Amino acid sequence: MLDGELFQITDPEEIRAVVEMIYAQEDIAPGLREKKGEILAMVLNNPGNSNFFKMKINHFGGKELLNFVPGEEIE
């Protein structure tokens, strides 16, 4: 359970970083890996409508989160 502020990622450099992070995962859906360029271009064409978000966590409950510092972004 997380409590904090949610922010839409609209900065092109942050969007690129998120896409790179997603594509670095081993378990990406079959057929999606080949479409990386298309997906990135589509999002960068209109970054104000990005579906990528980040959260500034102020408080959390449930399972312990190691190295948590309130207010810092967690990648």
List the one residue out of 56, 44, 35 whose CA is nearest residue 15.
44
Domain boundaries, the chain: 2-60
pLDDT tens-digit series, residues 6-42? 999 999 999 999 999 888 888 888 888 888 899 899 9
**Structural tokens at position 9:** 């990622």
Predicted local distance difference test score (pLDDT) of residue 72: 66
Q: Does the model's pTM come out above 0.85?
A: no
Predicted local distance difference test score (pLDDT) of residue 75: 53
pLDDT tens-digit series, residues 45-65? 999 999 999 998 888 777 666
Chain centre to alpha carbon of residue 64: 21
